[in-house]
Amino acid sequence: MSGAPVSAGFIPLVDAAPLIVAREIGFAEEEGIDLTLRAAPSWSTLRDRLMLGQIEAAHMLFPMPVAAALGLGGIGARLDILMVLSLNGNSIGVSRRMAARMRAAGYEFDFADARRAGEALIAATEGRLRVGVPFPYSMHAELLYHWLGSLGLRAPQDLDVHTVPPPLMAEAMAEDQIDAFCVGAPWGSIAVETGVGELLLPGSAIRARAPDKVLAVRHDWAEAEPVLTRRLMRALWQAGRWLARPENRTTAVELLAQRAYLDLSAELIERALSGNVVISPRGELRRVNDYMTFHGGAAGYPWTSQAALVASRLAGRLGLDRASSMAAAGAICRTDLYRANLADLGADLPAETARIEGANTVPQTVAGLNGEVILPPDAFFDGWIFDPEA
């Protein structure tokens, strides 16, 4: 490859696909950058490499830059969210022992109804529920806190939440360290394949179109390198559009399965990209529309209200000032760069930078800078909404 060098870090997950596709299919090269991808063993390692300048960009959990903006973790460097790389893509799993108790009580594992699933899980829990998440500041944690909290379980009073790197989640369950988990694909399927767990819900059952991974860079790098920032964003946006086309799925699976990236069986990766999910060692199959989304309906747009929602929740749990936390989080969502750098590609560009989160139970048409934008449903399972102006 030729072009200006840019290094980006990632965790071996299916939703790292936009970075992998941008390099392997050639979108990065077409934009004039030589994109080098570096796998990291954990989210904290990835964050620190970015903050220390060892890489220029990262595939990152949406709440991580938000937490950094609030002074939580890391070394204090400001991280900007340039774009959302993927929506949803997580699964909630339970141990075989927990699943057996739930099935004995009559729960049928429909992989769809978050309220019934949560009630069945709570009823089957003996003592405190032990849950694994990949990182404290993650959509995995936020989804779990919202889901279980709305059904009466509060953290930390009723929950033991453990941080477990995604590749170790099945092992932690096998060693009886956790009763349940929320983890990104394909690591939930690994727990099924190894016989240690069953899948209870997709993350999308808790909230439709929840932002999950983002493209994060240091603020000072984005300011110093506007041309490289533009090229990188354009390459990844085009990769997301390519991934959204069903005819490209087989090629995408083959790329992700390579040793340099996920180094896993193509079948496990295909389940996440297709939404055809095997939920138990017995081979039970469930179909989930929009299990993981990379493009369409302004999927990549970094709404300031999404960051404000996470900041509000973090502030509430940690005793921080809510208003200042929300303002700091909104400031790192670079809607300005998204609009400037992607407009001529035909990206959906909403006219507003914020919205009421979770309010769409049906598709909604909103004003856009390049014409109207159709926003798909983004509702929470319990009807909760977040108004950043409230």
95-135 residue pLDDT tens: 999 999 999 999 999 999 999 999 999 999 999 999 999 99
Peptide bond into 167 cis (omega under 30): no
Read off the pLDDT band of 11 (50, 70, 90).
very high
User: Are 23 and 52 a contacting pair, CB within 8 Å?
Assistant: no
pLDDT value at residue 76: 81
14-58 residue pLDDT tens: 999 999 999 999 999 999 999 999 999 999 999 999 999 999 999
Is the confidence at residue 215, as pLDDT, over 70?
yes
pLDDT value at residue 157: 81
Between helix 249-256 and helix 266-274 the angle, nearest 10°, is 130
DSSP string over 14-38? GGGHHHHHHHHTSHHHHTTEEEEEE
- pLDDT > 90: percent of the chain: 96
User: Are 94 and 200 a contacting pair, CB within 8 Å?
Assistant: yes
Q: How much is the average pLDDT of 4-10?
A: 98
**Torsion angle of C-alpha atoms 54, 168, 273, 22, degrees rounded to 10:** 10
Mean pLDDT taken over the chain: 96
pLDDT value at residue 33: 98
Q: Which two tokens stand for residue 10?
A: 């990632």
How would you class 118 by CB atoms within 10 Å of its CB: exposed for 0-12, middle for 13-18, buried for 19 or more?
Answer: buried
Euclidean distance between CA atoms 365 and 362, whole angstroms? 10
